[in-house]
Copies of this chain bind each other. A is one copy, B any other.
Amino acid sequence: MPRNLEEVAKLAGVSTSTVSRVLNNVSVVKTSTRTRVLKAVAQLNYHPNLHARTLAGGKSRTIGMIASNMENPFFFDVFKALEAHAQASGYEVVVANTDYDPQHLVSSIRLMIGRRVAGLAVVVSEMDQELIQELAQSQIPCVFYDVGSARRNITNIRVDYRKGVERIVEYLYDLGHRSLAFIGHHSGLGPTSERERAFVASVSRHGSDVEWRTVVDRDGLDGGRNATRELLDGGFQPSAIICVNDFMAVGVLRELRERGLSVPGDVSVTGFDNIKLSEYSAPPLTTAHIPRAKIGELAFTALMQNEETVLPAGREVVIEPELVLRGSTGPAGRGAARKKVS
């Protein structure tokens, strides 16, 4: 029994305009009529139709966020920060999950455009040029994380993965590791992600001094575990495993544990992101910190500026990951020699 303005107006003995006014706290309404209206609203259990509101008002109070995998705490943390700031400014945010599926990305973007969101944060690893074009043309203020480049209504936030991965590789190298594996995940588009390429570039720099392999699987606990199996069953015996993110690293830890390999005694493991879970794993993960909260905040403020200022030039913000040393890494050699994989 969805009530509408008119019913409320009738019951309160005023016009719909007046009801609208009190509901929006606009242009002083006499206190007596205001209370009368409010009473009618309560009495009828009236809830304004947001679609009509948005349509009539012309502007939406919601901002969208599209992520690859909300199951991975990394994305969730970004979302939380974004939402916190949005709410503080009277916006609500609706999220869409792509599950790394390009097709899903497309429909999510279309959905957001259809909703006429006030702004859109796209936090996915890959995205083809055409889609970016489509979004740009929509005139919706956007902020991309880790994909595309700044332009018209689009702001760019990116992490210098190259540097982050490099730091990890060098750290491990200095610890004596010469046999490295990289565990990544599918990016939905193209087989190699930026992080994987950064890894290859880093290890390649050491020439034949270090042997390495990369393997990818789905993002997640199970993916990390499977990748480790594939790696170890394939006969490669890394002294250190570098994971594309903490989430997968936790899966790696489990598989290693179940095979009786100790971390970091036999194998060192590193994550990436520094999600809360990385402190809670056993052992806690050495990782590269990425400031998710700041990213969420940056995204929101970028969207807002973009909305106020009419089409400013796109900006670009680059974030540098910081190495966080914990118990999952240690010197190479000892363990590997002491124990064989079954």
Interface residues of A (CB under 8 A from B): 1-2, 45, 47-55, 60, 70-71, 73, 76, 80, 83, 92, 94-95, 97, 110-111, 113-116, 134, 137-139, 221-222, 225, 250-251, 253-254, 257, 276-277, 279-282
Contacts and interface: CB of A to CB of B under 8 A. Distances in A.
Contacts of A95: 95
Nearest to A2: B116
Nearest to A139: B1
22 contacts: A2-B139, A45-B138, A47-B110, A47-B114, A48-B114, A49-B116, A50-B111, A51-B51, A51-B54, A51-B55, A51-B115, A51-B116, A53-B114, A71-B73, A71-B80, A83-B97, A92-B111, A221-B277, A222-B276, A225-B280, A253-B280, A282-B282
A282 to B, nearest CB: 4
A274 to B, nearest CB: 14
A49 B55 contact: yes
A274 B134 CA distance: 42
Copies in the complex: 2
Contacts of A251: 280
A89 to B, nearest CB: 15
A48 B116 CA distance: 9
A206 to B, nearest CB: 32
Contacts of A47: 110, 113-114, 138
A200 to B, nearest CB: 28
A294 B48 CA distance: 34
* Residue from A50, A51, A52, A113 having most chain B Cβ neighbours under 10 A: A51
A280 B2 contact: no
Contacts of A76: 70-71
A325 to B, nearest CB: 17
Given A2-B139, A51-B60, A55-B55, 15 more contacts: A1-B137, A1-B139, A2-B138, A49-B114, A51-B51, A51-B52, A51-B55, A51-B116, A52-B55, A70-B70, A70-B76, A221-B276, A253-B282, A281-B282, A282-B282
A168 to B, nearest CB: 22
B115 A50 contact: yes
A134 B73 CA distance: 34
Nearest to A110: B47
A250 B2 contact: no
A195 B124 CA distance: 38
A110 B46 CA distance: 10
* Residue from A95, A111, A114, A251 having most chain B Cβ neighbours under 10 A: A114
Contacts of A277: 221
Contacts of A115: 50-51
Contact of A282 (B51, B73, B257): B257
Contacts of A250: 280
A45 B137 contact: yes
